[in-house]
Amino acid sequence: MDYAFRSDYIDDPKLKRQFIDFLIDIHGLDLSLWDRLGFWDRKYRPFSFFDGDTLIASLCLFTMDMTVLGKKCKVAQISGVGTVDKYRRQGLNSELTKRAMKWAQTDHEFFFLFSDLEAFPFYKHSGFRRVKEHMILHTLTPTGTIAGAVKLDIERKDHLDLIYRCALEREPVSDLLGINNAQLLLFWCLYFLQDYIYYIEAYDLLILYKREDNHLTVFDIVAGKMPSFTEIYPYIASPQDKTVEFRFMPDKLGLDRYEERPLKEDNGTHLFGDFPLENRSFIFPHTCIA
């Protein structure tokens, strides 16, 4: 293999641009906005092979602070994985995976990733195991409503600043499996959840949720101190609501009852290393997917 290996090059604008273009080609995802707004830092670290000046295979290791069973730890998520078509099946990405994991293994507790179906054999080859996640389904009790949830607009600087402040000051959404990564939360707010961000001033919190028919999906609640869901719900309630699904573990929400259901849109979750929740039902917080 006669290709140049490069890592940790995000301070080099030319190489970074190549990486951004590569991700657009392979995954149709353009990180330029996230980058321009200053949310890409060294915790999102590429490992890549170049053929001459051309990036031909790459992955990113996203280091993140997690709370797992009440304990704070550093973990790593692998994302942005791809090899240019004509360079595939030459062992390039498995070599990058080896190098990235070797770099991280001393101070990261475990590795995880979310994958498309087609890449499952590749991750299996690299030693990852497939796990299933479960969402939390709660039947809503009718409640009165309280005005005061403001829909935020990411085009407005004051709203974006508010989101970022809440993201920086948050506590993890769960003590069982929670995450603190303000930059990644901003990624979700900019790219996928921009229409679903609400601020409740009374609790100084963000709730990211959508309503389809009589069903709510709550992706995240970003709070310095988490109120119970009974306290939050009146701010977003509608009389037709029947059920709510949480895309994170609900241990802080004070729910009296709920069901755990296999996630419909499978995230293709894979793990490597010791994962303390493996023998029970769990879900990674939705907004930790990179």
Contacts to ligand COA by CB under 6 A: 26, 57, 81-83, 88-94, 115-116, 118-119, 121-122, 125
**Tokens standing for 100?**
């990235």
User: 25-34 contacts: CB < 8 A, separation 24 or more?
Assistant: 25/82, 25/84, 26/82, 26/84, 27/80, 27/82, 29/191, 33/190, 33/191, 34/183, 34/186, 34/187, 34/190, 34/191
Smallest separation (angstroms) from ligand COA to the CB of 108: 19
Any idea what DSSP says for residue 129?
Answer: E
d(CA 166, CA 287): 14
One-letter amino acid at 128 equals F
- For residue 184, the minimal CB distance to ligand COA (Å) is 16
Query: How far is 258 from 140, CA to CA, in rounded Å?
Result: 10
- The beta strand positions in 106-164, using DSSP E, are 111-114, 129-130, 134-139, 149-151
b/e per residue 161-179 (b: at least 16 CB within 10 A):
ebbbebbeebebbbbbbbb
Give me the least distance between CB of 91 and ligand COA, in Å please: 5
Cβ–Cβ < 8 Å for 62, 41: no
Q: Which is nearer to ligand COA, 112 or 235 (CB)?
A: 112
**Closest approach of Cβ 251 to ligand COA, in Å?**
29
Least distance CB 121 / ligand COA (angstroms)? 3
CA 35-41-45 angle, 5° bins = 105
Q: What is the C-alpha separation between 170 and 223, in angstroms, rounded? A: 5
**Cβ neighbours of residue 266 under 8 Å, at least 6 residues apart?**
132
Q: In this complex, which beta carbon is closest to ligand COA, that of residue 26 or of residue 168?
A: 26
Which lies closer to ligand COA via its Cβ, residue 103 or residue 114? 114
Nearest CB to ligand COA, comparing residues 116 and 265: 116
Nearer to ligand COA, 117 or 147 (CB): 117
In terms of CB distance, is 78 or 205 closer to ligand COA? 78
- CB of 48 vs ligand COA, minimal distance in Å: 12
Identify which of residues 243 and 267 has a Cβ nearer to ligand COA in the complex.
267
Q: Shortest Cβ distance from residue 26 to ligand COA (Å)?
A: 5
Of 187 and 233, nearer to ligand COA (C-beta) is 187
The nearest distance, CB 24 to ligand COA, in angstroms, is: 13
State the DSSP code for 110: -
